[in-house]
Structure 1
Amino acid sequence: MDLHLQVFVTVVEKQNFTRAAEELHMTQPAVSQYVRTFEANIGTRLLERSNKYVRLNKVGEIVYHHAKEILGIYTKMQTLVDDVTNVASGPISIGASYTYGEYVLPHIIANLQKTYPYIQPTVTIDNTTEIASLVDSYQLDVGIVEGHFKDQQLTVEEFAEDQMVVVAASKHILGSKKGSVDSSDLNKETWIVREKGSGTREATEKMFDQLGISPTKLMSFGSTQPIKESVEAGLGISLLSKWVVQKELKNGELKILDSKGLPFFRQFSIVTKSSFQTKALEVFIDLLRENKLLTKLKA
């Protein structure tokens, strides 16, 4: 690996030469020299420096973006070479959208570590769009995303179905209603939704089309937990994965609303970029395919 590249990326991410030196187990002057040499090789300054900060300039942003891709490809190459021992080991970088990443993936990782203790997973959780982008730029080895995802640059494999339900607080007027609710009732309500770019927001909009409703009152949040809290507080209703609301349903805090066309189903997909997969990554993807947790939930 080009150490100049690694030093430059570390300085950018730590935003400080001293912290970068600590991370790299180098002296601060050595880090500074590596960066100066790297800039000289590129032919221009890449960083704006002051006593308080280190920031990328416009050229630096371009170099940093591609440096991350290069380092990601190098790591993958090295791990593939190591796999000649046929032992599932080494790092894998996993990305997941919020629903799968927060409620299903921890169980998969625990199972992975029991069976393959030499695999070293790191996990990034974000919305579907961001996870796909990180896989596309080789910053993640694999992503698990929600919805019907298509990208010509990525390999996409649907591998599991997710049951989504409309929930309200038990004390909400619709939550306390016996029997099913009409689509007109759903249309009048305030909907607590995820941000644009998330798989759950995509599913919600598809459900609106399926039910023929177009609510005018929407409240948007960037993660699932505040949505659940808002629904429990009676601020509105929401479409969420059944995985997300298991505890709240069991404790009687939330209630599933029954209506024609519900529940709503979507797909979880595995997205990858490289056609070459390490042994560790192959093992992890096999575990995803074999996972029975989603089947148990629907039962």
Structure 2
Amino acid sequence: MDLQLQVFVTVAEKESFSRAAEEHHMTQPAVSQYIRQFEEQIGARLLERTNKYVRLNKAGEIVYHHAKEILALYTKMQNLVDDLANKASGPLSIGASYTFGEYVLPRIIANLKQTYPDIQPTVTIGNTATVADLVASHQLDIGIVEGKFNAARLIVEDFAEDTMVIVSATDHPLTYRKEQLEMADLENETWIVREHGSGTREAMDNLFEQYGIAPTKLMDFSSTQPIKESVEAGIGISLLSHWSIKKELKNGYLRVLDVKGLPYRRQFSIVTNTPFQTKALEVFIDILRTKKLLTTLN
């Protein structure tokens, strides 16, 4: 059943029996036989076949979705058993929201590789909702996220606090104000914001609601880097994590606005989907929890 699942998933993803045969180092007739036997066991046709394409049908989409979860669980089970006799090693799939994944995680991965060179990490960066869903469906071993997400199938642990500030270009008119700014002073500014579903966008929306303002001039971007570039160019202002703007502040490209009530604070959380952890996952979580490491990131 395990090999049948693997062959089925490969055919579905490659949309080709011949490419699946190459992937698994077997003949095309052997792949066809595996698929035929698998469909007989399931009791339904799963693939639509023509001379031009191979595609999942409705039943196939259902089976493919669960097959990915089953294979991920099988791999995790094998790694857990292997860990009983071995040191921390093997694959570790990590997901992180953009702020943490782009500006903090690389240094943690470097620490991990230096201490445990036999661990093979792979990293997926996405918005909070996407990362949480991938962990819940066993596509990732662990996620590091902020803000709200569907935690129904997840184990959640808060582990770090992030502070967020409002930044502008160094020559923005607001930087010349001598008195402390109120949030109301910023309502008519152009705000450079992240897309819905990201933790940074949620933090910004919460800030607007908290202070009772409703800015109408918003520009959406799907990652932090173009937001920083836009702010630096004088297009508008933004609420950003202090982790993401260290270089810009050091080099004098951006300036933190002195706004009453800020900085805004939010929690970063570790999310996993099982109490059973491979040694690789266990040592990675230990590194995340290390206060000394987190202190160097502030």
TM-score by length of structure 2 reads 0.93
Give the direction of change, closer, same or farther, for the CA distance of 1:109–1:261 in structure 2 (3 Å limit).
same
3-state secondary structure, aligned to 2:202? helix
Which deviates further from its counterpart, 7-16 or 176-185?
Answer: 176-185
Question: Which residue pairs with 2:193 in the alignment?
Answer: 193
Find the residue that maps to 2:91 and give its secondary structure: strand
- Once the two structures are TM-superposed, the CA of residue 178 in structure 1 deviates from its matched residue by 4.3
**Runs of at least 5 residues in structure 1 that lack an aligned partner in the other structure:** none
Deviation at 1:233, TM superposition (A): 2.1
Aligned-residue offset at 1:82: 0.2
| Residue of structure 2 in register with 1:40 after alignment | 40
Partner in structure 1 of residue 70 of structure 2: 70
TM-score (norm 1): 0.93
Residues 1:104 and 2:116 aligned together? no
In the alignment, the residues of structure 1 paired with residue 296 and residue 268 of structure 2 have an alpha-carbon distance, to the nearest angstrom, of 16
SS in 2 for 1:73: helix
- Return closer, same or farther for 1:185/1:294 CA change in 2, 3 Å cut-off: farther
2:132/2:150 contact within 8 Å kept? no
Specify the alignment match of 1:121 in structure 2: 121
- How far did 1:19 drift? 3.2
1:210/1:261 contact within 8 Å kept:
no
- The total of aligned residue pairs comes to 298
Cα distance per residue 1:129-178 (max 9 Å; x no partner): 11111111111111100125562321100000111111111132224544
After TM superposition, list the pairs within 5 Å mapping 1:1-299 onto structure 2.
2-147=2-147, 151-290=151-290, 292-298=292-298
- Once the two structures are TM-superposed, the CA of residue 289 in structure 1 deviates from its matched residue by 0.5
C-alpha distance in 2 between matches for 1:292 and 1:185: 39
Task: Return 216-225 or 103-112, whichever deviates more.
Answer: 216-225
Q: Which amino acid aligns with 2:128?
A: T
Pairwise CA distance, 1:109 = 1.0
Amino acid aligned to 1:104? V
**In structure 2, the residue corresponding to 1:93 is in which secondary structure?**
strand
Query: Residue type matched to 1:180 in 2?
Result: Q
**Separation in 2 of the partners of 1:192 and 1:29?**
55
Letter in 2 for 1:263: P
Gapped runs of 5+ residues in structure 2? none
Distance 1:106 1:297, change over 3 A: closer
Q: Secondary structure at the match of 1:244?
A: helix
The structure-2 alpha-carbon separation of the partners of 1:104 and 1:297, relative to structure 1 and needing over 3 Å to count, comes to: closer
Deviation string 1:65-102 (CA, Å, 9 cap, x unpaired) is: 11011011101110111011141112121111111111
Question: Counterpart of 2:267 in structure 1: which amino acid?
Answer: Q
Paired residues of 1:162 and 1:294 also in contact (CA < 8 A): no
Q: Report how far residue 107 of structure 1 moved.
A: 1.0
Quote the sequence identity (%): 71
- Distance of 2:106 and 2:198 partners within structure 1: 20
- The change in CA–CA distance for 1:229 and 1:22 in structure 2 (over 3 A counts) is farther
- The question of whether the paired residues in 2 share the 8 Å contact of 1:167 and 1:239 is answered with yes
Q: Secondary structure at the match of 1:85?
A: coil
SS of corresponding position for 1:219 = strand
For 1:77 and 1:115, the matched residues in 2 are separated by: 24
Could you give the per-residue CA deviations for residues 98-136 of structure 1, whole angstroms, max 9, x where no partner exists?
111111111111111111111111111111111111111
Native 8 Å contact 2:195 2:201 kept in 1: yes
CA contact (8 A) 1:148 1:267 kept: no
Deviation at 1:184, TM superposition (A): 2.2
> Within 2, Cα distance between the matches of 1:226 and 1:57?
39
- The question of whether the paired residues in 2 share the 8 Å contact of 1:88 and 1:283 is answered with yes
User: Residues 86 and 259 of structure 1: is their aligned pair in 2 closer, same or farther, counting only changes over 3 Å?
Assistant: same
Change in Cα spacing, 1:171 to 1:26, as seen in structure 2 (3 Å) is: farther
Q: Aligned-residue CA RMSD in angstroms?
A: 1.9
Alpha carbons of structure 1 residues 52 and 261: separation in structure 2 relative to 1, 3 Å: farther
Matching residue's letter, 2:113: Q
Give, as a single letter, the amino acid of the residue that structure 1 aligns with 2:146.
E
